[in-house]
Amino acid sequence: MWSADPARSVDGGGLLPWVEPRKTRIGLVAGGLGAYWPQFPELLPQLQASARRVAGRFGEFDCEVVDVGFISDAQEGAAAAEKLRLADCDLIVGFLTTYMTASMLVPVAQRSGAPVLLLNLQPTEAMDHASFDTGAWLAYCGACPLPEMANAFERCGIDFRSVSGYLEDERAWTRIRRWLKAAGIRAAFRHGRHGLLGHLYPGMMDVITDPTLVSAQLGGHVEILEIDDLRVRVEKVTAAETEARMKVAQEVFTLDDSVVEDDFRWGATVSVALDRLVEDFQLDTLAYYHRGLDGETHERVAAGMILGASLLTARGVPAAGEYELRTSLAMLMMDKLGAGGSFTELQALNFHDNVVEMGHDGPAHLAISSAKPLLRGLGVYHGKRGWGVSVEFDVAHGPVTALGLGQLRDGTFKLIASEGEVVPGPLLQIGNTTSRVDFGCDPGEWTDAWSASGVAHHWALGTGHQVADLKAVSSLLHLPLEVINPS
C-alpha cells in the first residue's frame, strides 16, 4: 500500500536518498540569581536538575543543541554570550529557572544575532502551599523575571518570544517545538541557495521576483542558471544511469499506458542531470522555465524536467515550474514544517460539492499523494510548448493548508495561508495534480478573498493545518501573515 507521509523519503527502493538538510542549531542557557545559593543550599541542585531535563528534551528534537550550561550572575552571562556568539545559533533559548536579572541575559541576546525564546517552566503544575518554604517557592519563580526581561529587551531593541508552563507540560512543549520549526525555516532561508533557471513565462507579471529582495528580506542567495547549465549535464548522463533512474521511477510511480518509452527514457536522463545540477550548485530550491522552439535541444530539456523535479521535491529540494521563485520558497516552508508542499494553482470551482479544485501540471510533492502517483504521457501541456511525461495525483485526503508568498507594492513579502480539507470526488485525468479542497465556505467567496490577498498565480499546498506554526514562522521572518478564512 502507498503511504502518504511528508516525512517519508520517496527513495525508489533506497536508490534515491533524502537530501539531508543543515540541522537547526539551538543555543541553550539556563540560569538563576547566584545570591540564592548560599541562602538556600537545596535550591541550586534542584534548578540544575530542571536545566538538565530541558536540555534532554531538546536533545530529542532533530536539531543541534549548543548547551552553555547554568549561569548565576552577569559575568557568567557575558561568558555564555560570547560562546553563543561564536556558535552562530539559529535560536537562543534562555531557561528562567527562578528569578534572575535582565543583565544576565541581555548580553546573550544582543551578541548572538539570533531570535530569542525565553522559557518559564516550573517543576510541576502547582506548588504545595502547605509545605513550601521560601527556598521551595523560588524553584517555581521563573515567571517572576519574565516581565523584567520583556521590558529590558524592548528597551534594548531585542525581539523575543516566551513559553510558560511546567517541565512535563506537553502543551508548552508543543509551543516550544513550534518555535524550533520556525527557527529551522529561518535558518533554511538564511543559509539557502535558490536556483532560478531559464527565463520568465511570457506575460506573467505576477511571478516576477527580484532576487535581491529575496536575499534582503529572507537571506540566502539566488543562483541564476541558464538552460545550458542543465543541457551540458544531460549530455553527460550515461545509458546505464538512465536505465537505473527508470527503474527508480517504476518503483515510485504507476506508469500509465499513455507513457511513451522514449519520453520516459528522456525524462529519466534529465532527472539524473537535475540531481547533478542541484549537487554542483548546492541548491536548496529550484524554480525553472524555458520555452524553446521547434523541438530543438533546449526545448527537449525543458520538456523533460517534470519527472526529475518531482523526485527532487519529494526528497527535500522543492522545484517549481513557470519560473515561480516565490512559490518554490513557499514550498520550502511547507516542507520544513513536515507538510510537503506541492506546486498549485486554481483549476475550477465546484458549486455542487462546495469545493475548490486546485493543482498543476509539472513538479509535485510525491510524498503527500493520497495513493501511488501516476506518470502519464502528454502530447501537450496547457499553454506551453512541449511533450513528455507528467505527474498525476490527488493530495492525501484530510486537513491541508495553502501557503503563498505574496509581494506588496512596496516590494515587501507577506505570507498568505488558508486551511481546508481535501475531500474525495471526481478528478481530471490530464497529467495534473488535482485536489478538491473544502474551505468551509462558498468556493466563490473563498476564491475572491484568496485572490484579493495578493497571493499571485501559484502557491504551495501541504498536508495538515499549519497556521499555528506559520504564525511562529511569520514572527521569526518578520513577515506579515494573512489568514484567509471567509465566514
C-alpha cell at 455: 497571493
Sketch out the chain's domains with CATH numbers.
24-182 (3.40.50.10940), 191-483 (3.20.14)
337 near 462, Cβ under 8 Å? Answer: yes
Q: Which helix H or strand E contains 251, and what residues bound it? A: helix 239-252
406 near 480, Cβ under 8 Å? Answer: no
Say whether pLDDT at 9 is over 50: no
Amino acid at site 164: S
Q: Please state, in angstroms and as integers, the Cα–Cα distance from residue 33 to each residue in 105, 132, 164, following that order.
A: 12, 19, 19
The pLDDT of residue 59:
86
Say whether pLDDT at 4 is over 90: no
Say whether pLDDT at 444 is over 90: yes
Count of CA atoms in the C-beta half-sphere (13 A) of 208: 7
DSSP state of 171: H
460 near 442, Cβ under 8 Å? Answer: no
177 near 24, Cβ under 8 Å? Answer: no
The pLDDT of residue 427:
86
The pLDDT of residue 486:
85
DSSP state of 166: E
Distance CA 419, CA 238 (A): 45
Distance CA 24, CA 130 (A): 43
192 near 284, Cβ under 8 Å? Answer: yes
The DSSP bridge pattern shows strands 24-31 and 91-96 to be parallel
Q: What is the pLDDT of residues 114-141, one digit of tens each?
A: 999 999 999 999 999 999 999 999 999 9
Say whether pLDDT at 3 is over 60: no
The pLDDT of residue 12:
55
Express as a percent the part of the chain with pLDDT over 70.
94
The pLDDT of residue 341:
93
Q: Please state, in angstroms and as integers, the Cα–Cα distance from residue 123 to each residue in 131, 140, 142, 149, 167, following that order.
A: 15, 7, 10, 21, 5
pLDDT band at 196 (very low <50, low <70, confident <90, very high): very high
Say whether pLDDT at 441 is over 80: yes
Strand partners, 234: none
163 near 117, Cβ under 8 Å? Answer: yes
The pLDDT of residue 22:
85
- State the maximum Cα–Cα separation within the chain, in Å, rounded to a whole number: 86
The pLDDT of residue 295:
84
Model-level pTM?
0.93
Say whether pLDDT at 382 is over 90: no
Q: What is the pLDDT of residues 224-283, one digit of tens each?
A: 999 999 999 999 999 999 999 999 999 999 999 999 999 999 999 999 999 999 999 999
The pLDDT of residue 433:
86
Mean pLDDT taken over the chain: 93
Query: Quick one: average pLDDT of 132-151?
Result: 95
Q: What is the pLDDT of residues 386-408, one digit of tens each?
A: 568 989 889 999 999 999 999 99
Distance CA 275, CA 309 (A): 9
Say whether pLDDT at 7 is over 80: no
Q: What is the pLDDT of residues 302-357, one digit of tens each?
A: 999 999 999 999 999 999 999 999 999 999 999 999 999 999 999 999 999 999 99
The pLDDT of residue 190:
95
Contacts of 449 (CB under 8 A, 6+ apart): 484, 486
Q: How far is CA 182 from the centre of its chain?
A: 8
> What is the full DSSP assignment across 211-226?
HHHHHHHH-SEEEEE-
